[in-house]
Amino acid sequence: MHELSVCQSILSQVETVAEENSATTVSLIHLQIGPLSGVEVPLLKNAWTIARADTLASEAELEIEEMPITIRCSQCGQVSRAKVNRMICGQCGEWRTQLISGDEMLLRSIELEK
């Protein structure tokens, strides 16, 4: 369960941004998470309700944009969707593919109130 560590890391970044902008409250935190990031969204949401207590973000909602896995084939160039454990080309079946999206673990934006 490393999702609590992830929440603590988010909180410390959020607090820095809030201070820089002289905000008193953080109302929304927007994340992008891909299935290959190793972060489980339901676990993260659970951990968040614990981690946010007694912080500037104690009321903040976590808005999570779940990113799809998208790959590009090294042989035929086709861009296709893939599953976590089946990252092979949707067109020709080649396994040497390049990940375009799906491992995101990004703090995209924050909404603040002053």
Q: Using CB under 5 A, list all residues that contact Zn ion.
A: 73, 75-76, 78, 89, 91-92, 94
**Any contact of residue 113 with other proteins (CB under 8 A)?**
yes
**Any contact of residue 9 with other proteins (CB under 8 A)?**
yes
Q: How far apart are CA 112 and CA 57, in angstroms?
A: 9
Q: Which amino acid is at 68?
A: P
Residue whose entry in the numeric block shows the structure tokens 């995101």: 104
**Any contact of residue 114 with other proteins (CB under 8 A)?**
yes
If binding means CB under 8 A, how many residues of this protein chain bind other proteins? 43
99 Cβ partners below 8 Å, 6+ apart?
36, 69, 70, 71, 87
> Closest separation between CB of residue 53 and other proteins, Å?
18
CB 101 within 8 A of CB 34: yes
Judged by beta carbon distances under 5 to 8 A according to partner kind, the member of other proteins, Zn ion, none in contact with residue 43 is none
> Closest separation between CB of residue 31 and other proteins, Å?
7
Q: For residue 14, which of 111, 85, 114, 81 has the smallest C-alpha distance?
A: 111
**Any contact of residue 85 with other proteins (CB under 8 A)?**
yes
